[in-house]
Amino acid sequence: MPPNFHQTFMSFLSEIKRRRTFGIISHPDAGKTTLTEKLLLYGGAIQEAGAVKNNKIKKGATSDFMEIERQRGISVATSVLAFIYKDKKINILDTPGHKDFAEDTFRTLTAVDSVIVVIDVAKGVEEQTEKLVEVCRMRNIPMIVFINKLDREGKDAFDLLDEVEQKLGLRVSPMSFPIGMGYDFKGIYNIWEKKLNLFSGENKQTVSEGIEFNDVNDPQLDTIVGEKAATVLREELELVYEVYPSFNSEEYLNGTLQPVFFGSALNNFGVQELLDCFIEIAPSPRPKEAEERTVDASEEKMTGFVFKIHANMDPKHRDRLAFVKIVSGMFKRNEPYLHVRQQKKLKFSSPNAFFAEKKEIVDVSYPGDIVGLHDTGNFKIGDTLTAGEVLNFRGIPSFSPEHFRYVNNADPLKSKQLYKGLDQLMDEGVAQLFTLEINGRKVIGTVGALQYEVIQYRLAHEYGAKCTYENLNVHKACWVEATDPKNSEFAEFKRVKQRFLARDKQNKLVFFADSAFTIQMTQSKYPSVKLHFTSEF
């Protein structure tokens, strides 16, 4: 072993320990993009918040960079943002909250080591949040809950904590507690650091420095926040200590205990407490399951997987970026890596890292980092890159779409552009493309109806192609698995159902069922033919 090997390895390990890669999930409008932006502000990655209304022209938040997102005010694509805070390298994956783009969010959750769940104080827990938290619970991802918008009138803090426990099935441990709410909102008592943070100034935009309080029974508290608020705070804290478990790092990392913070991202309130606590307690890159074995972050050899593909990041240049999460080892520029599915070696001369809204070329990336690789069409979502070992990381399925439409070419002279555009957009996982066996017609299946608009918009603006849609009455697309492809039952199934059979992009056979009843009948009539709702069966 070379003498400096030990040194290099130790510095490699310390780089891994510095990394925190997390996703922010929430319902639309819970203030997720604002929170992302305030975190960047603290990390010094951006100089001013996008919420600054500049002569009535609202600057778009840094993490929403697609035109249609600006028009709709929703985040359609997950963006990657990185910054350094107190010597920790933080990678944020901002996910779309809109339910039509849930699939993108599910995939992003395969690339994070922990999650911050944002909840609106007035609306409480919403349905979309429940679904996403369920995915995190299935994968035991550590979660921190941030209850946002305390400067508005909302639900009582204890009611909210109950709701989070009941609806999301979490065990919560409050790390801070509000003093008043809405108009009476005075500030927050930080349980984790035993500090008091108060709003100062009439406009409730500024935060005074935290005052340390080792004992809330100190009469000084009455002078600072007023007697009434002080009494209420003391009673509430007593209740918090009695009812809720105190924070335990191990339970949080195992996904069995969730710390809760209160704040208002718009007013920068409670965001720093969240960030300071987060970098202390959140996990550095964790091991990941591959089909063959579990891969640990500290392994020497590079492994990583593609969890997202973004076409035309820059409309002037037709480029696609494949986002790769590094799982283990160091990813080096210009080194050949094995593309496992294609069984070929590829080199990358300009791997990108994302720093706030700038992309820069990096020579070395470490586990936990997200690298953007320029792609000419080699990658699909879920692909694995390694230093040579054959590994397949699991858990990035395609879900059965809920909406189906025929896609028609509206400009016969541009059919080449249309097919190229569809091909590339489908690789990104925006939607799924099926080709009917009987006549070769193309069908687009999506999780939400809004995606059709996005596809039409992007085909026109990025590929110069026009398309129209025609409705198709399909209840679910089921992936077909034949236990014995040679038996007569499978042949009979194919003959009877030929009008409803299609192929997906991977050429897997798919059955379009028009109702839940049809699925039931088909299963009982052809027991050797299995129907699945995800492509990873």
368 near 326, Cβ under 8 Å?
A: yes
Same domain membership, residue 413 and residue 372: no
Residue 12 lies in a domain: no
Q: How far apart (Å, rounded) are the C-alpha atoms in residues 358 and 65? A: 12
Residue 498 lies in a domain: yes
Residues 430 and 377 in one domain: no
Tell me the backbone φ, ψ of residue 375, rounded to 5 degrees: -130, 130
pTM of the prediction? 0.75
Residues 259 and 365 in one domain: no
**Last-in-domain residue among 253, 281, 309:** 281
189: in domain: yes
Q: Confirm whether 13 is domain-assigned.
A: no
Domain hosting 416: range is: 403-532
Dihedral sign (CA 308, 312, 313, 319): positive
The one-letter amino acid at 416 = K
Residue 437 near residue 503 (C-beta atoms within 8 A): yes
| Pair (181, 105) in one structural domain | yes
Q: Is residue 482 part of a domain?
A: yes
DSSP assignment of 447-472 = SSTHHHHHHHHHIIIII---EEEEE-
146 and 224 share a domain? yes
Domain count, the chain: 3
CATH number for 452: 3.30.70.3280
Position 443 scores a pLDDT of 93
- For residues 317 and 349, state if they share a domain: yes
Q: Output the domain CATH number for residue 202.
A: 3.40.50.300
Last residue of a domain, one of 325, 358, 386: 386
Residues 350 and 264 in one domain: no
Contacts of 423 (CB under 8 A, 6+ apart): 433
Residues 333 and 481 in one domain: no
The pLDDT tens digits along the chain (537 residues) read 455 667 787 888 888 899 999 888 887 777 777 888 788 777 765 554 443 333 223 344 545 445 555 555 544 444 777 888 888 888 888 776 555 556 667 777 888 899 999 988 888 888 778 878 887 887 788 999 998 888 777 788 888 888 889 988 899 999 988 887 667 777 788 888 878 777 654 444 445 555 666 667 777 777 777 778 888 888 888 888 888 988 898 999 988 899 999 888 887 788 888 888 898 899 999 888 888 888 998 898 999 998 888 765 555 555 678 889 999 999 999 999 999 988 999 999 888 887 655 677 888 989 998 888 888 778 888 889 999 888 888 766 666 788 899 999 988 888 898 988 888 788 777 788 999 998 989 999 887 777 888 888 888 888 889 999 999 889 888 899 888 888 888 889 999 998 999 998 888 899 999 888 998 899 889 988 888 877 765
Token representation of residue 374: 């320029």
**Of the residues 232, 261, 281, the one at which a domain ends:** 281
* Whole-number Å distance between alpha carbons of 413 and 410: 9
Hunting for tokens 């478990």 — which residue is that?
Answer: 245
Alpha-carbon distance 147 to 163, whole Å?
Answer: 12
Residue 61: inside a domain: yes
| 11 occurs within a structural domain | no
Torsion angles phi and psi, residue 352, rounded to 5: -100, 145
Beta strands in 108-169 (DSSP E): 114-120, 143-148
DSSP 153: -
Residue type, 184: D
Same domain, 259 and 349: no
Domain contains 8: no
Are 189 and 66 members of one domain? yes
Single out the residue of 261, 265, 301 nearest to residue 282, CA to CA: 261
Distance CA(391)–CA(433), nearest Å, equals: 27
Instruction: Indicate whether 69 and 132 sit together in one domain.
Output: yes
125 shares a domain with 162:
yes
